Each structure stands twice: as C-alpha cells, then as structure tokens.
Structure 1
Amino acid sequence: MLREQIQSETVTAMKAKEKERTAALRLIGAKIKDRDIELRTSDKKPGDNELVTDVLMKMAKQRRESIEMYEAGGRQELADKEKAELAVIEEFLPKQMSEDETRAAIAQIKADTGAEGMKDMGKVMAELKARHGATLDMSRASGLVKESLS
C-alpha cells in the first residue's frame, strides 16, 4: 500500500511540474527497487510495507547525517536540498515517538526484561526495535538506553 502511495504521489508531482518533489519521490522509488533486487535471493522476505518503511527510515537517517555535515561545513544550499528530500521522505513514515514516549518505552522494557546494567543493553535494544522499530529513531534511542542503564 505504501509503495502504491509513493508511485501515485510521483505521478501527481510530475503532473504538477514539481521538480524537486518528483526527484525525491523517484529517488525513493529507486531505493525500494534496489532493495527488492537485494532480496530476490533472500530466504526471508519482509512484508511490503515493512520493507518500504525500512528503506525510508534508512534514507531519513542518511539525510539527517548529511544535513549535519553540510551545515558544519558551511554548505547551507546542500543542507537545504537534503532538508527538502527529508521532508518528502517523512511524509510516508509513521509518526516518530517523542523523547518522553521513548523514555517510557525504555522503562517498560527494562521492567519487562529485568535489565539493570550495560550488559543488558543489547537485550533492551533488540526488544525496543521489535516493539517500536518503525516509530523510533534507533540512534537516538541508543543514547537514551545507555543513559537509563548506567
């Protein structure tokens, strides 16, 4: 369903002659196709929406990192281009959890698994990804998990 939504938005953007949006949507489509090709030989294939969401999460993470680097390097025009692409990508992602919601989820998982110290970080991160993977920025969550376990 998400794949079809992206394809229809691409057509709409093309008809409206929105060059930047069309380019971003085509880039998303290309990344999804690349992932499809990678998974052709795989035994375990995720569901379609799960696959598309995973691709979008990775693309969003890449854009955020690029924006930081471009702004640090004084290349604001490139940072603005990445921000525009990120805005298009985020339209198709589920709403991300706030910091407070993330902390509450971590506390719940710590209680459920009995995690106490840094040695349990992997267990907490795995459970966090299993329960909230699509609605959570795992790199930010990692820092919060470290903070709560130390």
Structure 2
Amino acid sequence: MALLDALKADQLAARKANDRLKADLLTTLIGEATQITTEEFKRGVTEVTDEKVVATVAKFLKNTKQTLENLAAEHARLVEAGGDASKVDERAKAAETELAILSSYGPKQMTEAELRAAIDDFKAKTPDANVGAIMAHLKTNFGGQYDGKMASALAKG
C-alpha cells in the first residue's frame, strides 16, 4: 500500500473515531503532499510519489519539533515570570501528540552514530570530497532519514 493511501485510510478512521487532532493533521498533510507545483507539472509530474509524501512528513516533523522547542522556551519564560503556563502546556501536549502521529509515517531517523558512520564511509571512499559532495551523497542515499543540521556539522567536522 502506498504511503498516501495509508494516510487517507488513517484519516478516514480518525474521522470515524472523532479524533479531530489526528484527522485535521492528516488532512493538512495529505493536502500539502498532493499539491503538484507548476515546476513539477512542467516536468511532467502528475502523480504523488511516496518520496514526495515522505518529504512532506519530514517537513511537518521538523516544524513540529521547532514548535515544541518554542513552547518549551515560552513555558520556561512564563514560569520564571510567575505566570500561568497551562495554555502553553496544553499546546505542547497537542504538539507532542502530532509528533507521535507524524513519526509513525516517516522513515526511521538515523542516529548520530549511524550518520557519522555513513559520512565516514563516504569520506573513506572519496577522500577529496567537500561538504557539498557529502551532503549530496546523504540526500541521494538517505533522504529524509537524518537531521540536516547534524549532518552538516558532522560533514564539516
């Protein structure tokens, strides 16, 4: 079953179960993943591939992680100021639920050790490779499976 079909089936199940958070999240995810840009259309792309859906899931995961970081900072600021952080905590709980939902659809993320090993292996095979070549290799072979910031830092190091 294609990933998009799985998302649609899970979205329908979430609607039937009255799970608004999951249904709304999957509706938004499906909507973004199925958009064909003008550039894609000009290249003759008319179907949504699993690769595109995975890239969209990865984008949503990244955004949700950033939201959680921002909410954690806001929580700390409110607590320090003696304010009420309950609304921030509610939003953080929803974001954590979204993160769990999204994680179930994304590819397994490489650990730092796995990423370092992949980079070291490429460097051993291509000793004169620069950071750009390393990042291109990672994107081609492990797209959506690693943290870009971490990969860049390891490639430079």
TM-score norm. by structure 2 comes to: 0.81
Deviates more, 1:122-131 or 1:78-87: 78-87
Query: C-alpha displacement at 1:124, in angstroms?
Result: 0.8
Query: C-alpha displacement at 1:108, in angstroms?
Result: 0.6
- The 8 Å contact of residues 28 and 89 in structure 1, kept in 2 or not, is answered as no
Q: Deviations over 1:95-149 (max 9, x none)?
A: 1111111110010111122146xxx1111111111111132222221122222xx
What corresponds to 2:79 in structure 1?
Answer: none
Name structure 2 gaps, 5 residues minimum: 76-87
Name structure 1 gaps, 5 residues minimum: none
Query: C-alpha displacement at 1:44, in angstroms?
Result: 6.2
Count of aligned positions: 143
Structure number with higher helix proportion: 1
Query: C-alpha displacement at 1:21, in angstroms?
Result: 1.4
What corresponds to 2:81 in structure 1?
Answer: none
Give the 4+ runs in structure 1 shifted more than 4 A. Answer: 37-40
TM-score norm. by structure 1 comes to: 0.85
- The 8 Å contact of residues 33 and 48 in structure 2, kept in 1 or not, is answered as no
Which one has the largest radius of gyration?
A: 2
CA-atom RMSD in angstroms: 2.0
Is 1:123 aligned with 2:119? no
Query: C-alpha displacement at 1:2, in angstroms?
Result: 0.5
> Using the alignment, how far apart are the partners of 1:83 and 1:39 within structure 2?
34
- The 8 Å contact of residues 25 and 98 in structure 2, kept in 1 or not, is answered as yes
